[in-house]
């Protein structure tokens, strides 16, 4: 039969912890579990909120169906390609006079810049 020494008194059987330490550990685990569950619920709520807004605030103030843009291009010019970045539209035009890139601001319908491409 093993004799319990004085250091083992007050310890939970099979562990090196006192009942007070075990109680503190249980409380810490419960608090961290609640924080984890709350954080997860907050992330899900934020995702649902952002998805339900439907991208408000990112669209131009005027609908593109309501806007008319007058863009002067040569008669024989054709649009080779176009690229949209945010509220800017870049048109690559090809004509007998040469190639040109026109950048249009879609929020107000104005031409921001014209770049004539010269062969070398």
pLDDT, tens digit only, all 120 positions of the chain = 455 555 556 788 888 899 999 999 999 999 999 999 999 999 999 999 999 987 665 555 555 566 777 888 878 888 899 898 888 999 999 988 888 999 999 888 888 898 888 877
63 within 8 A of 106, measured Cβ to Cβ: no
Instruction: Give start and end residues of each alpha helix (H) in 7-119.
Output: 19-53
| Of 73, 102, 74, nearest in space to 88 by CA | 102
pLDDT of residue 1: 46
The three-class DSSP label of residue 26 is helix
Distance CA 67, CA 63 (A): 7
The three-class DSSP label of residue 83 is strand
Q: Decide: pTM greater than 0.75.
A: no
| Lookup result for tokens 């109680």 | 23
CATH fold group of domain 61-120: Nuclear Transport Factor 2; Chain: A, (3.10.450)
What DSSP character marks residue 12?
P
Give me the residue spans of the domains in the chain: 10-53, 61-120
For 2, phi and psi rounded to 5 degrees?
-80, 140
């Amino acid at each position: 039969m093993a004799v319990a020494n004085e250091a083992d008194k007050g310890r939970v059987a099979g562990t090196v912890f006192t009942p007070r330490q075990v109680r503190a550990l249980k409380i810490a685990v419960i608090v961290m579990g609640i924080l984890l569950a709350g954080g997860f619920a907050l992330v899900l709520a934020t995702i649902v909120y952002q998805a339900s807004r439907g991208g408000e605030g990112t669209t131009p103030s005027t609908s593109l169906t309501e806007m008319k843009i007058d863009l002067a291009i040569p008669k024989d010019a054709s649009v080779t390609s176009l690229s949209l970045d945010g509220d800017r539209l870049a048109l690559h035009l090809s004509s007998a006079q040469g190639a040109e890139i026109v950048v249009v601001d879609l929020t107000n319908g104005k031409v921001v810049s014209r770049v004539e491409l010269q062969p070398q």
